[in-house]
């Protein structure tokens, strides 16, 4: 999971700066916008859905696709389908990215939770379990009702009408980006104090700061 998280972070890092670089080089294009969304669909759509599927599978003792090698009626009666509920995140992300592409009012702010932020939220859970190994946090994360709630909440936030701070910089001016710089500073502090457990707190902070800045 650490390797998965590394490549996700790398993808989000490049996604964060590609728009700024394209504007600086004056190479913006409609094709670039579509390619950007295709890349986002993998990094911030498919991956978090698979991660949630994996987490939900850990809460189901007899979940195994490997053991069912045929497509008989026994396959459909024996297999536990709860883990596949996590793929709702992938569907919600695809819809969010599609609506974002045809929207013309999300240049200065986002409508709904950006897919990279949602991906960071989802991928933080296995990282917390793997690297912090706190019994209380592990128990919460591996509670199926918690995971179902997170899946539903993230799918809702992705496509909600909530106006959130756009995380992409058009310039480096502090005056124009005060809220963004403040969010970054507070995020660094939370990561230092809480490590990977700080990521969900950062997403909550991001939403609350966005609501407060309306």
Q: Which domain holds residue 79?
A: 2-170
Q: What is the pLDDT of residue 70?
A: 52
In a domain, 106, yes or no: yes
At 71, is the secondary structure helix, strand, or coil?
coil
Q: Are 187 and 181 in contact (CB under 8 A)?
A: no
Model confidence at 79, in pLDDT bands (50, 70, 90)? low
In a domain, 68, yes or no: yes
Least confident of 107-116, 129-138, 195-204: 107-116
pLDDT in tens, 13-71: 877 777 667 667 766 666 766 777 788 899 999 999 999 999 999 988 645 544 444 54
Alpha helices by DSSP H, listed for the chain, are 2-25, 30-41, 47-58, 73-78, 88-101, 115-131, 135-141, 144-158, 178-194, 198-212
Q: What is the pLDDT of residue 107?
A: 61
> Domain tally for the chain?
1
In a domain, 214, yes or no: no
Task: Give the chain's mean pLDDT.
Answer: 83
In a domain, 119, yes or no: yes
Rounded to a whole number of angstroms, the CA Rg of the chain reads 19
Distance CA 188, CA 36 (A): 27
In a domain, 78, yes or no: yes
Q: What is the pLDDT of residue 194?
A: 95
In a domain, 181, yes or no: no
pLDDT in tens, 173-185: 767 678 888 999 9
Smallest Cα–Cα separation from 124: which of 186, 16, 51, 180? 51
Alpha helices by DSSP H, listed for 84-177, are 88-101, 115-131, 135-141, 144-158
In a domain, 102, yes or no: yes
Q: What is the pLDDT of residue 55?
A: 94
Q: What is the pLDDT of residue 3?
A: 83
* pTM for the predicted model, two decimal places: 0.83
In a domain, 186, yes or no: no
pLDDT value at 139 more than 80: yes
Q: Is the C-alpha dihedral spanning 197, 12, 54, 81 positive or negative?
A: positive
Give the residue-averaged pLDDT of 143-163: 94
Distance CA 96, CA 158 (A): 6
């Amino acid at each position: 999971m650490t390797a998965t998280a590394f490549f996700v972070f790398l993808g989000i890092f490049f996604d964060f700066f590609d728009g700024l670089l394209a504007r600086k080089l004056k190479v913006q294009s409609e094709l670039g916008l579509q390619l950007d969304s295709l890349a986002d669909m993998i990094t911030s759509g498919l991956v978090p859905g698979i991660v949630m599927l994996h987490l939900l599978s850990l809460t189901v003792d007899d979940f195994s696709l490997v053991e069912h090698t045929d497509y008989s009626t026994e396959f459909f009666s024996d297999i536990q389908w709860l883990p596949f509920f996590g793929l709702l995140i992938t569907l919600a992300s695809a819809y969010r990215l599609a609506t974002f592409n045809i929207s013309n009012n999300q240049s200065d702010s986002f409508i709904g939770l950006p897919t990279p932020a949602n991906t960071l939220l989802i991928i933080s859970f296995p990282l917390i379990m793997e690297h912090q190994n706190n019994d209380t946090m592990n128990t919460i994360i591996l509670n199926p009702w918690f995971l179902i709630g997170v899946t539903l909440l993230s799918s809702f936030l992705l496509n909600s009408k909530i106006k959130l701070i756009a995380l992409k910089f058009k310039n480096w001016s502090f005056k124009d980006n005060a809220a963004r710089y403040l969010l970054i500073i507070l995020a660094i502090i939370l990561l230092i104090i809480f490590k990977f457990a700080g990521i969900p707190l950062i997403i909550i902070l991001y939403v609350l700061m966005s609501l407060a800045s309306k």
